[in-house]
Amino acid sequence: MSDRLSRPERRALVREDEGLLSMPVNIGGDSRRVEAQIRHLVGLFRSDRSASPSSDVMAHILGIFDKTTPVSTNAKVACKRGCAHCCYQRVTILAPEAFAIANYIRSDKDKIAAIIQTHQQTKGLSEEQRRHARVPCPLLNEAAACSIYAMRPTGCRGAMSLDVNACIAAYVDLKNTGIPMPIDHIKTMNVMRMILSAAMTLVQLPITGFELIGAVAVALSENAEQRWRSGENVFASVDVDSSTPPVFLAQVDGMARRVAPTV
């Protein structure tokens, strides 16, 4: 007996998904909202009408990320425009995030030059070495604001602090102290990354974590996204982050298995 949906079942699911897709994801609640998002991203990844499926995927999931972040979280955090203490550290992203950022800045020659230069400066540095090197992210602008704010990756979106003094201690004074973060926001970031990773698993794209600047530098090269989608290891020269916890990967695998019969 097949696990796959019949046509009427699929039509009913499409109708149900339409109602769920624009809603915030209710963390820890009804899993249908998460599964609808995964199915939608799979459809975007598979589209042959888009010049950059990754850009479409990221525009959608980042919109849902922002929608899911409770207003109460934004009200209590210390983060504000022009405060960029955390933008001097290593950030890990997935390949679609790199392609989406590359497309976002492709016409900005100065920014591209800054990315290439920073990549040369920071390539091979561990997370700790990078923190001590105090090299600013080349995507910061003169006003110490993120120049790709709308397209900033999930890791940056998830980095919210409840105490600016803790940020200064950790990122400026380089003390080994922690940053108090809103736990609901960390959960939101993790669920968004899981949704993205589960969709990538279902379309058989590798869910490797890469260092942000190196990955964007590669993503800017000619036809990089098409080559990556065809299976070429275009990120071979980029520092990889292998610290993803097995429990995260197991949850992604579980999500992908649940959704597989419906895509």
| Interacting residues toward ligand SF4 by CB under 6 A | 87, 91, 137, 139-140, 146, 148, 152, 156
Q: How far is the CB of 255 from ligand SF4 (least distance, A)?
A: 26
Residue closer to ligand SF4 (CB basis): 98 or 139: 139
Residue closer to ligand SF4 (CB basis): 140 or 168: 140
Residue closer to ligand SF4 (CB basis): 61 or 137: 137
| Listed residue (11, 165, 26, 17) closest to 85, CA to CA | 165
The sign of the dihedral angle between the CA atoms of 146, 212, 129, 118 is negative
Residue closer to ligand SF4 (CB basis): 201 or 235: 235
Residue closer to ligand SF4 (CB basis): 140 or 249: 140
| Residues 6 or more apart in contact with residue 48 via CB below 8 angstroms | none
Which SS3 state, helix, strand or coil, does residue 49 take? coil
The sign of the dihedral angle between the CA atoms of 156, 159, 163, 167 is negative
Measured at the CA of 130, the angle between CA 94 and CA 143, to 5 degrees, comes to: 80
Q: How far is the CB of 105 from ligand SF4 (least distance, A)?
A: 10
| Residues 6 or more apart in contact with residue 68 via CB below 8 angstroms | 24, 25, 27, 188, 191, 192
Query: What DSSP assignment string belongs to 75-91?
Result: HH----TT--TTTTS--
Contact status, residue 33 vs residue 25, Cβ threshold 8 Å? yes
Q: How far is the CB of 112 from ligand SF4 (least distance, A)?
A: 14
Contact status, residue 224 vs residue 99, Cβ threshold 8 Å? yes
Q: How far is the CB of 130 from ligand SF4 (least distance, A)?
A: 11
Residue closer to ligand SF4 (CB basis): 53 or 158: 158
Q: How far is the CB of 263 from ligand SF4 (least distance, A)?
A: 31
Q: How far is the CB of 91 from ligand SF4 (least distance, A)?
A: 5
What tokens appear for 258 in the block?
């649940």
Residue closer to ligand SF4 (CB basis): 86 or 249: 86
In the beta sheet, which residues pair with residue 160? none
Q: How far is the CB of 160 from ligand SF4 (least distance, A)?
A: 11
